[in-house]
């Protein structure tokens, strides 16, 4: 069990989500203030047992508040805006974690993952990268934990060490790249949520078709590189049994879940006009609760089972995510308040970015985000801090969708290469290598290739829009 302080923090985090949802529907500033108070209290409780690496972010946030208070008269409003930004990110993370909690223990979902992991070599990479993409839409980086664990489980029985090592590496990067490609377009991803917040005039319905092309490029390039650079073994692999299971039958539970989630989000967005992220915060927890109610109940009935699972989610699972909550909240907070402090300094003493060719700015965004990831800057922090320093899309004379494409493309590359992201850390742990090795050695060529392709696509899209 997590410490009592973390358990109370987990409860406050769930309460923060419940208060944030009305704010998404225009319920007033009071809800945003209450959500910020709840989440700051949760952050304080989580910090009591957090590692120093997370507390460093809290310290930076405190320094920024003191800087703002000492230099700017309107510092209180800016601080509240930054707290609201961090709270919004945590509310979305909590909602998605609820669905991940309900789905990841499902036997049907596990069977679907095992089916993908046992595909024969000629179609294993494509099956796992597409599976990683589909699972990633629902489970976020839990898809890497689930499919990666199944890959490690399956290869552990392989007697040939050379074959086992190559097979595990290829399976893990397939899953990782599939998950990272969701960051280009998924309305349930933090990348889209943050990009829609920091890019004036951006909207997900306008951007999604172009973002899906980015995702398809990442999946296709990964499959092509795996096919071209297939490892040469010192001895031929042993024959494998032919897979006879029906694809549609095995994937049906996952596809049905995706259809319900995406359909529900779209329906609520169209019916109410609420932002897509607000619809996600509303629909996803309801689906998670419906999933729990559909499962065989514990003694005491379905309502008691639902109450017990909600309590377990708050006091155990969200408490267990306290390191991630601190990192995500502070990344959004530091990026928002830091950019507010830096904008007037840049305007007075920095280069005139409005004189830089807009296409050059877009191309740079694709590369700057993964490069900052190599020095420990979370993509949320990088995007929240750097993008507000740029001229608006209207001032640059480009469509907001072009800037969203550049941001989400760079974010996705960072998800494959930064040794400080959860996805790369998980892959390194499952593969038995250092995170930097998993990010840059296993995915270095892939990052360069996809970065080049995405840069060209962003520039083409900017001229078309």
pLDDT at 243: 58
Q: Which of the residue ranges 169-178, 334-343, 349-358 would you say has the lowest mean pLDDT?
A: 349-358
pLDDT in tens, 256-274: 888 998 899 989 999 998 9
Residues 6+ apart with CB under 8 A from 430: 144, 148, 149, 151, 152, 168, 172
pLDDT at 262: 87
Q: Over range 310-314, report the average pLDDT.
A: 93
pLDDT in tens, 88-103: 999 999 998 998 888 8
Q: In percent, how much of the chain has pLDDT > 90?
A: 60
pLDDT at 244: 58
Confidence grade of residue 151 (pLDDT, cut at 50, 70, 90)? confident
Q: Over range 436-461, report the average pLDDT.
A: 96
pLDDT in tens, 68-81: 999 999 999 999 99
pLDDT at 236: 64
Q: In percent, how much of the chain has pLDDT > 70?
A: 96
Over 80: is that where the pLDDT of 406 sits?
Answer: yes
pLDDT at 238: 59
pLDDT in tens, 110-145: 888 888 888 887 788 999 999 999 999 888 877 888
pLDDT at 219: 96
pLDDT at 164: 79
pLDDT in tens, 12-52: 999 999 999 999 998 888 898 899 999 999 999 999 998 88
pLDDT at 182: 95
Confidence grade of residue 234 (pLDDT, cut at 50, 70, 90)? low
Q: Over range 409-435, report the average pLDDT.
A: 92
Q: Which of the residue ranges 202-206, 249-253, 257-261, 398-402 would you say has the lowest mean pLDDT?
A: 249-253
pLDDT at 94: 93
Average pLDDT along the chain: 89
């Amino acid at each position: 069990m997590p410490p009592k302080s973390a358990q109370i923090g987990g409860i406050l985090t769930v309460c923060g989500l419940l208060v944030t949802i009305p704010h998404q529907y225009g319920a007033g500033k009071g809800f945003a203030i209450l959500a910020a108070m709840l989440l700051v209290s949760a952050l304080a409780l989580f910090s009591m047992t957090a590692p120093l690496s997370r507390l460093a972010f809290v310290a930076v946030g405190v320094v920024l508040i003191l800087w703002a208070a000492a230099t700017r008269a309107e510092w209180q409003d800016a601080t509240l805006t930054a707290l609201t930004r961090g709270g919004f990110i945590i509310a979305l993370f909590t909602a998605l974690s609820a669905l991940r909690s309900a789905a990841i223990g499902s036997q049907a979902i596990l069977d679907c993952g095992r089916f993908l992991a046992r595909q024969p070599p000629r179609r294993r990479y494509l099956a796992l990268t597409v599976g990683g993409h589909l699972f990633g839409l629902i489970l976020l980086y839990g898809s890497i934990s689930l499919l990666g664990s199944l890959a490690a489980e399956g290869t552990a029985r392989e007697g040939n060490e050379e074959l086992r090592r190559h097979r595990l590496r290829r399976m893990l990067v397939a899953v990782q790249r599939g998950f990272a490609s969701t960051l280009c377009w998924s309305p349930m991803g933090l990348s889209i949520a943050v990009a829609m917040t920091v890019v004036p005039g951006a909207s997900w319905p306008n951007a999604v078709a172009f973002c899906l092309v980015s995702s398809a490029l990442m999946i296709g390039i990964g499959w092509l590189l795996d096919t071209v650079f297939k490892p040469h073994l010192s001895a031929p692999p042993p024959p494998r049994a032919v897979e006879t299971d029906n694809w549609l039958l095995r994937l049906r539970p996952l596809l049905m879940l995706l259809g319900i989630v995406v359909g529900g989000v779209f329906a609520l967005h169209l019916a109410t006009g609420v932002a897509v992220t607000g619809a996600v915060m509303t629909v996803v927890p309801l689906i998670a609760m419906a999933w729990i109610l559909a499962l065989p109940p514990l003694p005491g009935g379905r309502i008691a089972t639902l109450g017990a699972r909600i309590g377990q989610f708050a006091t155990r699972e969200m408490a267990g995510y306290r390191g991630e909550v601190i990192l995500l909240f502070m990344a959004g907070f530091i990026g928002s308040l830091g950019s507010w402090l830096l904008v007037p300094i840049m305007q007075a003493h920095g280069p005139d970015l409005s004189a830089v060719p807009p296409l050059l700015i877009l191309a740079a965004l694709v590369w700057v985000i993964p490069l900052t990831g190599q020095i420990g800057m979370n993509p949320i922090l990088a995007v929240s801090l750097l993008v507000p320093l740029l001229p608006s899309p209207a001032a640059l004379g480009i469509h907001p969708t072009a800037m969203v494409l550049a941001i989400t493309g760079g974010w996705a590359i960072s998800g494959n290469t930064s040794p400080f992201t959860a996805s790369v850390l998980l892959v390194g742990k499952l593969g038995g290598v250092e995170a930097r090795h998993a990010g840059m050695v296993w995915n270095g060529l892939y990052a360069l290739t996809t970065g080049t392709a995405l840069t060209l696509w962003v520039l083409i899209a900017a001229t078309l829009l």
